[in-house]
């Protein structure tokens, strides 16, 4: 299968100011740090890792919602890094995003019809009958009644609001959709409905998904392949069954073995998985392998040399000195 989206050495460092009044300095927060990743046409690639490891930043970089500080992105056979706003326009509608918080992402003062229509207007459509028909079709696709168009976000449940968010993302007929924790903020009972809806839409419309989640069970359900991120790096990528039944990277092994934290207050904060030790700061990541401060298999080389992402088995990529001895 060919790659629809491809990242090469993709990097995003945010400048963070620190220091005192007398000694100001700027540090780089290395949110995404040299990521190579391919997303195949028609697949769902799950992207997992603890909160703060750079998943959302990577998703936003791939569709150029934010600008990289290094590396390259190819979309549908074209390099899109560095394209001007005008040149990006033709690609922009083909790459959309569904956000985690369906309430925060929708303007409370706009009707559902206006919310879904807005991307069409931005891309040059007029608010006429043909455009309204596209909105009605988008509502139908996500399983909302036509009369929902005249209502406002606060009149809907969380699950219905996420359906509005999905309709807004799909109304431009995209090829690639970044789903950034689209069910994390929803009740467990509603999560499965939204995941099933996304799967049905993918089949019906031939979509390609990057599905970001910290909940490994959701990713297991929806993904074809899974990529694991740790502190701005992709540390393992493989077919779903290989990730879950034969994980190679110690971090992936820890994620899968981690006992789910079932306290609702933790789940709401995105802390379902717990691994020994704290995640180090992306402001000053550990030398060598970034996982070395928490890895049960750490060796001397791990502290000094960063492991490259290599392919020890076909289509299974791992960045670890255990798997790829130096
Ligand atoms: Fe652990 Fe070393 Fe592998 Fe990093 S490179 S995951 S520290 S064994
Ligand atoms: Mg996130």
Is 100 a member of any domain? no
Mean pLDDT of 277-303: 93
Q: Which residue has the higher pLDDT, 273 or 10?
A: 10
pTM of the model: 0.92
Is 161 a member of any domain? no
Count the domains in the chain.
1
Q: Which residue has the higher pLDDT, 266 or 52?
A: 52
Give the residue, out of 296, 319, 320, 323, with the most ligand 1 atoms within 8 A of its beta carbon, to mutate for a pocket test: 320
β-strand pairing of 44-48 with 208-212: parallel
Report CA(303)–ligand 1 centroid distance (Å): 9
Is 247 a member of any domain? yes
Q: Give the sheet arrangement for strand 95-98, strand by strand.
A: 95-98, 176-180, 208-212, 44-48, 225-230, 233-239, 316-318, 310-313
Question: What is the ipTM score, two decimals?
Answer: 0.97
Closest-approaching ligand to the CA atom of 100: 2
What is the residue whose two structure tokens read 């001007």? Answer: 84
Mean pLDDT of 73-90: 93
CATH of residue 76:
3.40.50.300
Q: Is the CB of 299 under 6 A from ligand 1?
A: yes
Is 150 a member of any domain? no
Is 325 a member of any domain? no
Q: Is the CB of 301 under 6 A from ligand 1?
A: no
What is the residue whose two structure tokens read 């069954």? Answer: 241
Is 179 a member of any domain? yes
- Note the pLDDT tens digit of each residue in 149-200: 999 999 999 999 999 999 999 999 999 999 999 999 999 889 999 999 999 9
pLDDT at 214 (0 to 100):
86
Is 218 a member of any domain? yes
Cα(64)–Cα(105) distance, rounded to whole angstroms?
18
pLDDT at 122 (0 to 100):
94
Nearest to 279 by CA among 322, 227, 229, 318: 229
Domain of residue 49, residue span? 3-94+174-318
Closest-approaching ligand to the CA atom of 235: 1
Cα(142)–Cα(116) distance, rounded to whole angstroms?
12
Is 143 a member of any domain? no
């Amino acid at each position: 299968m060919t790659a629809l989206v491809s990242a090469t050495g993709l990097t995003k460092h945010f400048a963070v100011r620190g220091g005192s009044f007398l000694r100001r300095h700027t540090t780089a927060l290395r949110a995404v740090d040299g990521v190579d990743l391919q997303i195949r046409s028609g697949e769902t690639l799950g992207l997992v890792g603890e909160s703060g490891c750079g998943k959302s930043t990577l998703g936003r970089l791939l569709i150029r919602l934010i600008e990289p500080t290094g590396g390259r992105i190819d979309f549908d056979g074209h390099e899109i890094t560095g394209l001007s706003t005008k040149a990006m326009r033709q690609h922009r509608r083909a790459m959309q995003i569904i956000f985690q918080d369906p309430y925060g992402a929708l303007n409370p003062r706009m009707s559902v019809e206006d919310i879904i229509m807005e991307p069409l207007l931005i891309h040059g459509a007029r608010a006429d009958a043909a455009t309204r028909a596209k909105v009605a079709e988008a509502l139908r696709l996500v399983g909302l009644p036509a009369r929902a168009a005249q209502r406002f976000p606060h009149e809907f449940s969380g699950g219905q609001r996420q359906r509005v968010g999905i309709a807004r993302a799909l109304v431009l007929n995209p090829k690639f959709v970044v789903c950034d924790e689209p069910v994390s903020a929803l009740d467990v009972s509603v999560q499965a409905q939204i995941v099933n809806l996304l799967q049905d839409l993918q089949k019906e419309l031939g979509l390609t998904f990057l599905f970001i989640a910290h909940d490994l069970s959701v990713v297991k359900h929806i993904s074809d392949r899974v990529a694991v991120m740790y502190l701005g790096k992709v540390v393992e990528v493989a077919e779903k069954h290989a990730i879950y039944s034969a994980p190679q990277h110690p971090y992936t092994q820890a994620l899968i073995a981690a006992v789910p934290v079932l306290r609702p207050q933790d789940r709401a904060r995105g802390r379902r998985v717990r691994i020994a030790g704290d995640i180090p700061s992306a402001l000053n990541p550990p030398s060598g392998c970034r996982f070395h401060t928490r890895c049960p298999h750490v060796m001397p080389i791990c502290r000094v040399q960063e492991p490259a992402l290599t392919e020890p088995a076909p289509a299974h990529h791992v960045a670890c000195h255990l798997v790829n001895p130096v």
